[in-house]
């Protein structure tokens, strides 16, 4: 973490970079760097930093020309929205990013980020549906561990969160032992 005076200086320099950037590519890069700077601070204090980062990222989307820059932008929007507990924006940004890329590895990374956000602030049903949608990717040996980890976290959430437990009980019909509770989530 930067000292308070240095943080303010860094913010001012990044603002100056945005103002003086001459090309759309330079403005895009400066906007992405500013958003990343703000997102670093947002992990400690989501408001106002996550909101500010999201505003910069949405402005970058308007000028970003390269698909790589747009993917970085959507990744940032997802992170900012997750910090603000806005799962609808997470889902929307993820869907747009997935449509933008033909690369399965990139798609899986976005799906995993979406699942992670929903594990934090979504519902059991949402996560179960996302894992079902990602099933074709989860059998790939390259990604099996990542999906198994998310399923384990989901099981843990069922055991820890009352709202998830209630959803899970409704899904199973309410006649399940604790042992099968951990296995079926």
The predicted pLDDT at position 116 comes to 95
Q: For the ranges 44-48, 97-101, 104-108, 143-147, which has the lowest average pLDDT?
A: 44-48
**143: its two tokens:** 């990604």
Distance of CA 25 to the CA centre of its chain: 24
Highest-pLDDT range among 13-22, 55-64, 173-182? 55-64
Do 137 and 176 fall within a single domain? yes
CA distance 37 to 92: 23
Regarding whether 109 and 47 lie in a shared domain, the answer is: yes
Regarding whether 100 and 162 lie in a shared domain, the answer is: no
Q: Quick count: other Cβ atoms within 10 Å of Cβ 13?
A: 12
User: For 66, which DSSP code?
Assistant: S
Of the candidates 105, 122, 139, which is a domain's last residue?
A: 122
According to the model, what pLDDT value does residue 30 have?
85
Q: Is the pTM of this model over 0.85?
A: no
Asked if residue 135 and residue 70 are part of one domain, the reply reads no
CATH number assigned to the domain comprising residue 55: 1.25.40
Please state, in angstroms and as integers, the Cα–Cα distance from residue 87 to each residue in 68, 80, 137, 156, 173, following that order: 23, 10, 22, 20, 27
Ordered DSSP codes for 86-141:
-HHHHHHHHHHHHHH---HHHHHHHHHHHHHHHHHHS-HHHHHHHHHHTHHHHTST
Residues 15 and 101 in one domain: yes
Domain that holds residue 113: 1-122
What's residue 177's pLDDT? 56
Q: How far is CA 69 from CA 64, 74, 99, 173, in A?
A: 6, 9, 14, 46
Q: Are residues 113 and 61 in the same domain?
A: yes
Identify whether residues 70 and 159 lie together within a single domain: no
pLDDT tens, position by position, 86-116? 999 999 999 999 999 889 999 999 999 999 9
Q: State what percent of residues in the chain have pLDDT above 90.
A: 62
Q: Are residues 26 and 111 in the same domain?
A: yes
Per-residue pLDDT reduced to its tens digit, 119-141:
998 999 999 999 999 999 999 99
Q: What is the DSSP-derived secondary structure letter of residue 21?
A: -
The answer to whether residues 128 and 106 belong to one domain is no
**101 and 152 both lie in a single domain:** no
Assess whether 94 and 134 both reside in one domain: no
Domain count, the chain: 2
């Amino acid at each position: 973490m930067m000292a308070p005076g240095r943080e303010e200086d860094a913010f001012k320099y990044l603002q100056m970079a945005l103002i003086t950037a001459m090309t759309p590519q330079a403005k895009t890069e400066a906007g992405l760097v500013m958003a990343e700077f703000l997102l670093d601070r947002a992990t400690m204090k989501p408001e106002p930093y996550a909101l500010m980062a999201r505003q910069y990222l949405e402005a970058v989307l308007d000028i970003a020309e390269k698909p790589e820059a747009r993917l970085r932008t959507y990744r940032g929007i997802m992170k900012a929205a997750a910090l603000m507990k806005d799962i609808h924006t997470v889902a929307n940004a993820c869907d747009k990013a997935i449509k933008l890329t033909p690369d399965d590895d990139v798609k899986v990374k976005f799906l995993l980020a979406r699942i992670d956000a929903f594990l934090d602030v979504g519902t059991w049903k949402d996560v179960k549906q996302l894992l079902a949608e990602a099933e074709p990717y989860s059998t790939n040996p390259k990604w099996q561990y990542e999906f198994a980890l998310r399923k384990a976290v989901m099981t843990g959430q069922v055991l820890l969160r009352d709202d998830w437990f209630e959803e899970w009980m409704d899904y199973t019909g309410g006649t399940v032992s604790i042992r099968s509770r951990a296995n079926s989530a």
